[in-house]
């Protein structure tokens, strides 16, 4: 009787492991169907969670000596887990040959410590600083307290879609650098992007900063997808090197992000370890939605995450070099 109860318990445990493993596998696979439905595309955000759960199920199975179960699970999840290695392993070799330093900050307009951000900014030598969720309160603080940077373009808003770009007064950027607005073609978004056209050494360089809508509904998801697609197409028509930076509200496995890769853009997060940006409070358990994509991997010298300043996003620091 005792032996039978023990066997029943082991059987229930095995079934439970398969249920958890199966749900994780299902979520992983359905994320690939994001082109068919915005709700399925949401599942793609959590690919790291799925793979971590699968690996945990394999480990538990082997610890409990369910050898066949563990081997079966491993055979199923080995390809998904291997596919995530580029975002987990850090094989980058940061160089000192950078020519241009760019900062991207999404400062939550409700929670961010704007005074702390100002102090950080005044200690920074970044050539360009892109700020998202730029509101009137932050505009006033920067207007009164900026020491080394100047505001080139700014659109304060009361919601989460204000945007601005700052330039260091001692920047390496040439004087003929152009700063311009790119209005969104979508009436739903009504969110502008900022384009910076300049030269780095003897090569033309175009940088586009975009804050895409969050995919919280079917219409918002469709607008986000259109914003990202339009940004990629616009940059593809520019001469020279191109950089897309901003809060795209999409992880690298979402359908619109995959389209950017199909256009030839490269994700600078690859080969630099697992560095999620949102929500900042979850640390390594978050997801990467703040990005920098480039037209050539030789453009990137370094890519780092910075502090959040009580925002829900980590900042992204990019060092570009001439290739």
Name the strands in the sheet holding 178-182, side by side, starting at the edge strand that comes first in the sequence.
Answer: 178-182, 193-200, 203-209, 241-247, 290-294, 266-267
Residuewise pLDDT in 10s, the chain (323 residues): 444 455 567 788 899 999 999 999 999 999 999 999 999 999 999 999 999 999 999 999 999 999 999 999 999 999 999 999 999 999 888 777 778 999 999 999 999 999 999 999 999 999 999 999 999 999 999 999 999 999 999 999 999 999 999 999 999 899 899 999 987 655 555 788 999 999 987 889 999 999 999 999 999 999 999 999 999 999 999 999 999 999 999 999 999 999 999 999 999 999 999 999 999 999 999 999 999 999 998 888 899 999 999 999 999 999 998 76
Distance CA 205, CA 215 (A): 30
How many Å apart are CA 135 and CA 139, to the nearest integer? Answer: 6
DSSP secondary-structure letter at 212? P
Output the furthest CA–CA distance in the chain (Å, rounded): 86
Could you tell me if 212 and 250 are in contact, meaning their C-beta atoms sit under 8 angstroms apart? yes
Residue pair 100/200 in contact by the 8 Å Cβ criterion: yes
Q: Quick one: which of 120, 104, 89 has its CA closest to 304?
A: 104
The per-residue b/e assignment along 163-190, b for 16 or more CB within 10 angstroms, e otherwise, is: bbbbbbeebebeeebeeeeeebeeeebe
Give pLDDT, residue 185: 58
Query: In degrees, to the nearest 5, what angle opens at C-alpha 115 toward C-alphas 110 and 120?
Result: 115
pLDDT score, position 136: 97
Indicate the length of the chain as a whole number.
323
Q: Given the DSSP bridges, would you call strands 241-247 and 203-209 parallel, antiparallel or unpaired?
A: parallel
pLDDT of residue 161: 94
Q: What is the pLDDT of residue 75?
A: 97
CA distance 302 to 72: 40
Residue in 213, 232, 235, 234 with CA at minimum distance from that of residue 224: 213
The first and second tokens of residue 310, run together, are 């009580």
The residue extents of the domains of the chain are 2-88, 100-320
> Measured between alpha carbons, how far is 210 from 226 in angstroms, rounded to an integer?
12
Architecture of domain 100-320: 4-Layer Sandwich (3.60)
Cα gap 125→144, rounded to integer Å: 19
pLDDT on residue 2: 44
| pLDDT value of position 8 | 65
């Amino acid at each position: 009787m005792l032996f039978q109860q023990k066997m029943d318990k082991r059987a229930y445990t095995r079934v439970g492991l398969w249920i958890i493993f199966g749900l994780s596998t299902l979520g992983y696979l359905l994320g690939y169907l994001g082109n068919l439905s915005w709700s399925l595309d949401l599942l793609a955000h959590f690919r790291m969670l799925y793979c971590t759960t699968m690996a945990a199920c394999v480990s538990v199975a082997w610890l409990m000596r369910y050898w066949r179960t563990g081997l079966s699970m491993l055979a199923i999840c080995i390809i998904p887990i291997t596919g995530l290695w580029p975002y987990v392993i850090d094989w980058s070799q940061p160089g000192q040959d950078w020519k241009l330093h760019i900062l991207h900050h999404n400062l939550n307009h409700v929670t961010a410590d704007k005074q702390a951000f100002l102090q950080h900014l005044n200690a920074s030598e970044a050539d360009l600083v892109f700020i998202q969720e730029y509101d009137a309160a932050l505009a006033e603080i920067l207007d009164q307290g900026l020491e080394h940077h100047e505001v080139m373009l700014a659109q304060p808003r009361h919601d989460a879609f204000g945007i601005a770009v700052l330039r260091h007064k001692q920047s390496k950027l040439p004087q003929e650098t152009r700063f311009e607005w790119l209005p969104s073609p979508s009436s739903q978004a009504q969110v502008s992007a900022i384009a910076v056209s300049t030269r780095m050494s003897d090569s033309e360089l175009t940088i586009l900063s975009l804050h895409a809508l969050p995919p919280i509904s079917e219409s918002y998801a469709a607008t986000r997808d259109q914003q990202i697609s339009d940004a990629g197409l616009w940059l593809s028509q520019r001469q020279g090197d191109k950089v897309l930076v901003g809060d795209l509200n999409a992880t690298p496995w979402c359908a619109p992000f995959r389209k950017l890769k199909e256009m030839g853009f490269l994700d600078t997060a690859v080969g630099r370890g697992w560095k999620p940006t949102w929500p900042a409070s979850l640390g390594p358990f978050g997801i990467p939605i703040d990005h920098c994509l480039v037209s050539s991997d030789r453009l990137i010298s370094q890519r780092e995450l910075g502090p959040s300043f009580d925002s829900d996003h980590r900042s992204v620091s990019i060092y570009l070099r001439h290739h």
